[in-house]
Amino acid sequence: MGHHLTYEEAKKFAYYGLRLLAIVTVIEVIISLFGKGYLGWKEAYYLDWVHYICGGIIIILSLYKAYFIVFNFMHLGTETKTLIRTVLLPMTLLFFAIIAFIWEGAYWNNARSYILQQDQLPSERVVPDINQDPQAGQTKTLE
């Protein structure tokens, strides 16, 4: 366990954390608006690499915010490594499970879209009609 803060120190640290999180969030919003072409460079909307760079920066900043909240406000920074792993390992596995479910859902959606497209295409009739020649293939019935 770490050292305990006085009320004034804890209050000062909480406000510091709120300011830091607010600043990082504003930076994320500015980067997002730039990546969509609303701030500055209008052609950024049409360039894929700008989207990837802006998205990567936003993910990194979001992970930093999550780390800061978990480490300081949830007090995991002062706990033993076993407790930290006990909390973070299931959360990490849940994160990867969500990614796997989204990936699988996208696959099924694409497969379903392909099937619907194939259903709309005209096809040739492979099997001849049964009633083409009424005399052919008739069997006589015994009376």
Contact 33, 39 (CB under 8 A): yes
Q: Give the pLDDT score at 61.
A: 96
Give the CA angle between residues 75, 78, 84 to the nearest 5°. 75
CA distance 141 to 90: 74
Residue that has been written with the tokens 């050292």 in this structure: 3
Mean pLDDT in residue range 108-112 = 90
Distance CA 35, CA 3 (A): 43
Residue 21 binned pLDDT confidence (cut-offs 50, 70, 90): very high
This prediction has a pTM of 0.64
d(CA 23, CA 30): 11
pLDDT at 45 over 90: no
- Determine whether 73 is exposed, middle or buried from the number of CB atoms within 10 Å of its CB (0-12, 13-18, 19+): middle
In sequence order, what E strands does the chain have? none
User: pLDDT tens digits for 61-85?
Assistant: 999 999 999 888 888 888 899 998 8
The mean per-residue pLDDT over the stretch 24-40 comes to 92
Q: For the chain, which residues make up each domain, given as ranges? A: 1-79, 80-119
Give yes or no for residue 104 having a pLDDT over 90: yes
φ and ψ at residue 62, rounded to 5 degrees: -65, -40
